[in-house]
Amino acid sequence: MNRRLTGIAATAAVLALGAAACSSSKSSDVGSKSGGAAGKSAASATSAADLGGMDALVAAAKKEGALNVIALPKTWANYGAIMDAFTAKYGIKVNDANPDGSSQDELNAIKQQKGKGSAPDVVDVGQAAATSGAADGLFAPYQVATWSQIADAQKDAKGLWYNDYGGYIAIGYDADKVKTPPTTLKSLDDPAYKSQVALNGDPTKANAALSGVIAASLANGGSLDNVQPGIDFFGKLKADGVFVPVAATQATIQNGTTPITIDWDYLQASAAKDLKAKGVNWKVVVPADGLFGGFYNQAVSASAPHPAAARLWEEFLYSADGQNLWLKGQARPAELPALQTAGTADAAALAALPAFTGTPQFATQDQMSAASKLAVAGWAKATG
């Protein structure tokens, strides 16, 4: 439950509809020379057709033999099962570096490891990181076969990034330790919760944590254009001894350090399953007073050491199989409306999505950037 940098962009209609219904390569330039029947190199392919179709892409990716991902915890949105399924289907080893890293760590790795066989091939980042990474030339344009099934508002027109999965900010709590179940974000401002409330990371660096602050702002008279009330809210919780400045993880939950966490609903729900096996009675509620949602994004590194495998990974993620694996992780995949229309969405997984009431709010890229800047400027001062 610990990663990501700033930002999200999506439309409320799309997500509400969806909710309803590193072993390294031997050479740093190994991928740049791989190509397909169409004669184009994998590194410059903007679609599978550029390499001669899916069969040629699969062949080129298998020849590379590896895929480098980064900052993908196995318990995050069912990524453990997704990586295993990709390897089982194509025989390509997936190397996952820095599983608990942030979106900024991912961008830094692309820059710092450029030219090395261990560099990331693909990233999964918050919207601000997706936007800044594209502006910095870190990503290669690529459009998956199901490109038309991703809403226009959820992708870069050139294919530099595209939404993958999303959800809503939720409150998780240990029902055996928290005697008064929290139902709203405002209800956390209570001495009964002293030394119990935590975020998933630092909102100046972690997308999930920043989103928690934005949700708190909505619950306290703020707006997507003014998240200062959210920062002030956590400042008050810190002053009252309620807020714990510790990045919440399943380990901190188990040892009692963070019995109440604010995080994405799919991470809370996934944690509930894992924690139950460890004797923790974890409950999840999506607060109606701060109903905030968002998506993360996929992008292919422009300097990927395994460019064919990188593109095949995206094709797998945006196939019905990949989308349903995210859904089974209780995250809402970007193509869920299309899956529902086609009747290919996993019915059991769809029914298991965390419930919510009200109309969710979504931030634009500009709003997320402004929120991030405000957090960077004032978070440390507000929370010590």
> For the segment 49-101, what is each residue's pLDDT rounded down to a tens digit?
999 999 999 999 999 999 999 999 998 999 999 999 999 999 999 999 999 89
User: Within this chain, do residues 265 and 304 fall inside the same structural domain, yes or no?
Assistant: no
CATH of the domain at 137: 3.40.190.10
User: Within this chain, do residues 18 and 151 fall inside the same structural domain, yes or no?
Assistant: yes
- Nearest-Å Rg of the Cα atoms of the chain is 20
User: Within this chain, do residues 66 and 136 fall inside the same structural domain, yes or no?
Assistant: yes
Tokens of 10: 């999506």
User: Within this chain, do residues 186 and 212 fall inside the same structural domain, yes or no?
Assistant: yes
| Residue 5 lies inside a defined structural domain of this protein | no
Structure confidence at residue 39 (pLDDT): 58
Tokens of 148: 């038309």
| Residue 25 lies inside a defined structural domain of this protein | yes
Report the sign of the C-alpha dihedral through residues 283, 264, 205, 181, in that order: negative
What whole-number distance in Å separates Cα of residue 69 and Cα of residue 90?
16
User: Within this chain, do residues 86 and 178 fall inside the same structural domain, yes or no?
Assistant: no
What whole-number distance in Å separates Cα of residue 123 and Cα of residue 301?
7
Residue 154 structural domain: 12-165+294-351
Structure confidence at residue 20 (pLDDT): 37
What whole-number distance in Å separates Cα of residue 91 and Cα of residue 298?
22
- Residue 182: name the closest of 155, 219, 145 by CA: 219
Q: Which amino acid is at 323?
A: Q
User: Within this chain, do residues 86 and 73 fall inside the same structural domain, yes or no?
Assistant: yes
What whole-number distance in Å separates Cα of residue 331 and Cα of residue 167?
6
Structure confidence at residue 38 (pLDDT): 53
Structure confidence at residue 28 (pLDDT): 36
pLDDT tens sequence across 197-247 = 999 999 998 888 999 999 999 999 999 999 999 999 999 999 999 999 999
Q: What is the maximum span of the chain, computed from C-alpha positions, in angstroms?
A: 67
Structure confidence at residue 22 (pLDDT): 35
CA end-to-end distance (rounded Å), the chain: 23
Structure confidence at residue 36 (pLDDT): 52
Answer whether 209's CB lies under 8 Å from 199's CB. yes
What whole-number distance in Å separates Cα of residue 245 and Cα of residue 235?
11
What whole-number distance in Å separates Cα of residue 101 and Cα of residue 125?
11
Structure confidence at residue 364 (pLDDT): 85
What whole-number distance in Å separates Cα of residue 105 and Cα of residue 356?
32
What whole-number distance in Å separates Cα of residue 132 and Cα of residue 119?
19
Residues facing 96 on adjacent strands: 69
Residues facing 163 on adjacent strands: 297
User: Within this chain, do residues 183 and 227 fall inside the same structural domain, yes or no?
Assistant: yes
Q: Which amino acid is at 184?
A: T
Answer whether 67's CB lies under 8 Å from 93's CB. yes
User: Within this chain, do residues 239 and 322 fall inside the same structural domain, yes or no?
Assistant: no
Task: Please count the structural domains in the chain.
Answer: 2
What whole-number distance in Å separates Cα of residue 348 and Cα of residue 336?
14
Structure confidence at residue 19 (pLDDT): 40
For the chain, where are the E strands, in sequence order? 66-70, 93-97, 122-125, 139-140, 162-174, 197-199, 260-264, 282-285, 293-301, 332-333
Could you tell me which residues come within 8 angstroms of residue 362 by beta carbon, excluding any fewer than 6 positions away?
A: 8, 9, 10, 11, 12, 15, 292, 293, 294
Stretches where the chain sits below pLDDT 50 are 1-33
Question: pTM of the entire structure?
Answer: 0.78
User: Within this chain, do residues 20 and 116 fall inside the same structural domain, yes or no?
Assistant: yes
What whole-number distance in Å separates Cα of residue 145 and Cα of residue 361?
30
User: Within this chain, do residues 372 and 309 fall inside the same structural domain, yes or no?
Assistant: no
Q: How many angstroms from the chain centroid is the CA of residue 145?
A: 22
Count the neighbouring beta carbons within 10 Å of the beta carbon of residue 145: 16
User: Within this chain, do residues 284 and 321 fall inside the same structural domain, yes or no?
Assistant: no
User: Within this chain, do residues 42 and 173 fall inside the same structural domain, yes or no?
Assistant: no
